[in-house]
Amino acid sequence: MDDPLRLGTHEFSSRFILGSGKYSLKLIRAAVENAGAQMITLALRRANPGGAENILDYIPEGVAILPNTSGARNADEAVRIARFARALGCGDFIKIEVIRDSKYLLPDNGETVKATAALAEEGFTVMPYMYPDLNAARDLVSAGAACVMPLASPIGSNMGLQARDFIRILIDEIDLPVIVDAGIGRPSQACEAMEMGAAAVMANTAIATAGDIPAMATAFRKAIEAGRAAYLSGLGRVLPGGASASSPLTGFLGGVEGAEND
Amino acid sequence: MTIIVNGGRADCAPGLSLDSFLEGEGYDQRVIVVGLNGTIVPKGSYPSVRLDDGDALEILNFVSGG
Amino acid sequence: MIRADGQGHMEYARGMEAIGSGIMDAVLAAAGAQDFSAFSEDDARRALGGRELSADGFAALLSPAAAPLLEQMAARARAETRARFGNSVSLFTPLYISNYCENGCVYCGFSRDRRIARARLDPAGIEREMLSISASGLEEILILTGESRRMSDLGYIEGACAAARRHFRVVGVEVYPMDSADYARLQACGADFVTVFQETYDTGSYGRLHPAGRKRSFPYRFNAQERALLGGMRGVGFGALLGLADFRRDAFATGLHARLIQRKYPHAEISFSCPRLRPIGGGAAFVPFELGEAELLQVICAYRLFMPFANITISSREGARFRDNAAGIAATKISAGVDVGIGRRGAAPEPAGDGQFEIADGRSVGEICAMLSARGLQPVMSEHLYV
């Protein structure tokens, strides 16, 4: 079935965005392949002279690079990092992360909206990481984002869909893809997010800290595919408990006007 | 003369090209992006950019990250 | 001028404000594509059991297949209504201040072609009527006119709104569609809610039923709510006159119209009116697409489940038994002490004007309050602040 994930002018058949942090470069290829991922995040850092391995050499051909702006504490820094990232020649995607809280690492939605507006204007395909707030999400849509990426729980925590009800609201109200990012710790949580109607799931720590990284990437791929299939099928009905055969509310229909019928 | 490279001081011959400086320091030019005094330097112009005393270079590359 | 020859009803007339909005095309495309006979009872059951109703789920609940589920729909509608509104039901009354009309709507008692007693209240008459209404305890009023921009010009309506502002806490208008700047003027005078009935979203029927007058422009009417919000109104009301065309498609389009406006203007308060076409004064024969009370209740419950937070008003065109029960299920607003004629409330020195339609529930404010209380519901006279 043709069910592409659309981000700006780009299309993907995979709905699993893989993070590359916290595990060895040697395992990236296996993780990407087992995940079926077509997009992987990278960060930008100061280079060391001489001999350092190039991470791009470990990423399979055809996988889109999603640079993030980690390290940015405000919109201006995010914009600068994004421009540097694009100058590396790996496409126009940018995942905006603006964090000015070193304890919980929660994203700053206000600065994220500003950075999104500036970078969308410069032609980036902007994927903003955010705290799941409906007003901010609407502002991101207006600012030209290609999707919104609400956190499920604090980044790196593997605590799962703590923000479930607020992500649901975004899914209901926002017409862009809602990609659940950060905090997803288990395949079952990724599956639930997809069942709810999330457009994709991004995961990193759950895989990076698993006992068998490639095997966990496989498990996530299957979970995300299952959740998407369930969402598209339309979940089956749940019979309400305590249903009654009588008609206490609609029994008045067909009665005679003026007659007491309660 | 002295320039600033990724926040640290570095010695540099006067009038050296950016291209030669990067090569001398051992950077892999295929995988880096360079900012000179806050402006991104297009890859093709590394040979023509001459470094001056007090110039600040930012040399960045991709690393793993979520 | 808009022509009356079956052309031009999908265009704006000269001078009409055209806002750029994609909502009309989206609603017409979605409504046109729905096949209400294609749904199964299980489709309706699935929609009813789901958490948030999609547009397709809404259509399923409007379909004939959902009819056997009406009791379950009513139960869920009542639960949603009570969760959002508690047990309160708002009271208001319409005040018709003029029945002059420039439109020739085939089904309407105010149509310019009908020989009825025409009247327009002067400021003293308006004041008299408002005093009489205010004395009944009501705090919310809906000011209505026929759609004549000559006999009820903007300044005249502004005057009525300003007067209403002195007597009432909440002032709504149901008058001819106007430009956003005009709505801003009414808002400045104290009105902050605008209701416009599209009548029917079936563009072919719309063209046939509205042969003349500014009302002939379907898009200008369709975009009235959006212009009202751009003019600073707090909220907007929607309604199809059920029975003019396929009521399922019209109800679907009404709900989707409201939903898309709410998405684009999340601050806007939304309300639905659910009028069924009734016989009109003057004896004109017009055979509507009939729908029964069960189908009307199905529409009302579907509106509630699709837009759980919206106000729903049940017209006094419906009988007391239906209104009382609907108030217990999904309606949150009910009119009381209704008179759809002009100047018939107080002892007016001027001749009174005939009504637009025949009402079926003429109970007073006291009687409606007593009915609500007896049903465990709380009559509320006003719940908004004009700002």
Condensed to tens digits (0 to 9), the pLDDT of residues B3-59 reads 999 989 988 888 899 999 999 888 888 889 999 999 999 988 999 999 999 999 999
- Flag whether B66 is in a domain: no
Q: Active-site residue A95, yes or no?
A: yes
Structural domain containing residue A16: 5-47+54-233
| pLDDT confidence bin for A102, thresholds 50/70/90 | confident
- Flag whether B6 is in a domain: yes
- Flag whether A171 is in a domain: yes
**How many domains does one find in chain B?**
1
- Flag whether A247 is in a domain: no
Q: Name the active-site residue from A22, A95, A114, A222.
A: A95
- Flag whether A249 is in a domain: no
- Flag whether A250 is in a domain: no
Structural domain containing residue B38: 2-61
pLDDT in tens, A50-97: 767 788 889 998 999 999 999 999 999 999 999 999 999 889 999 999
In this structure, which amino acid lies at residue A247? S
Q: Does residue A252 sit at the C interface (CB-CB below 8 Å)? A: yes
Distance from CA of C271 to the nearest CA of A (A): 19
Does residue A189 surpass a pLDDT of 90? yes
What pLDDT shows up at residue B49?
92
Distance from CA of B24 to the nearest CA of A (A): 9
Tell which residue, A64, A17, A28, A21, has the closest CA to residue A45. A21
Tell which residue, C193, C197, C331, has the closest CA to residue C269. C193
| pLDDT confidence bin for A262, thresholds 50/70/90 | very low
Contacts of C72 in chain A (CB under 8 A): 240, 243
With touching defined as 3+ CB pairs under 8 A, do chains A and C touch? yes
Contacts of B56 in chain A (CB under 8 A): none
Lay out the sheet containing A93-96: strands in order across: A93-96, A125-130, A149-150
Question: What integer is the mean pLDDT of A141-152?
Answer: 97
Q: What CATH number does the domain containing A119 carry?
A: 3.20.20.70
Inspect the interface and report whether the beta carbons of C75 and A236 lie closer than 8 Å: no
Structurally, at CATH architecture level, domain C23-380 sits in Alpha-Beta Barrel (3.20)
The tokens describing B30, both together, are 């295929």
Which stretches in chain C have pLDDT values below 70?
1-7, 279-288, 346-351
**Beta-strand relationship, C235-240 and C193-199:** parallel
**How many domains does one find in chain A?**
1
* A103 vs C104: CA distance, rounded Å: 69
Its ipTM equals 0.90
Contacts of A252 in chain C (CB under 8 A): 321-322, 325
In this structure, which amino acid lies at residue C77? A
A249 → closest Cβ in C51, C71, C322: C71
What pLDDT shows up at residue A253?
87
What does each C-alpha distance from C34 to A3, A27, A163, C165 come to in angstroms?
22, 50, 35, 43
What pLDDT shows up at residue A25?
85
In this structure, which amino acid lies at residue A226? A
- Flag whether A71 is in a domain: yes
∠ CA C240-C245-C249 to the nearest 5 degrees?
70
Inspect the interface and report whether the beta carbons of A249 and C74 lie closer than 8 Å: yes
Neighbour subunits, C (≥3 Cβ pairs < 8 A): A
Neighbour subunits, B (≥3 Cβ pairs < 8 A): A
What pLDDT shows up at residue C350?
63
Does residue A256 surpass a pLDDT of 80? no
Ramachandran quadrant class, B64 (left: phi over 0; alpha: psi -120 to 50; beta: rest): beta
Q: Which chain A residue has the Cα nearest residue B33?
A: A88
- Flag whether B23 is in a domain: yes
Contacts of A257 in chain C (CB under 8 A): 319-321, 360
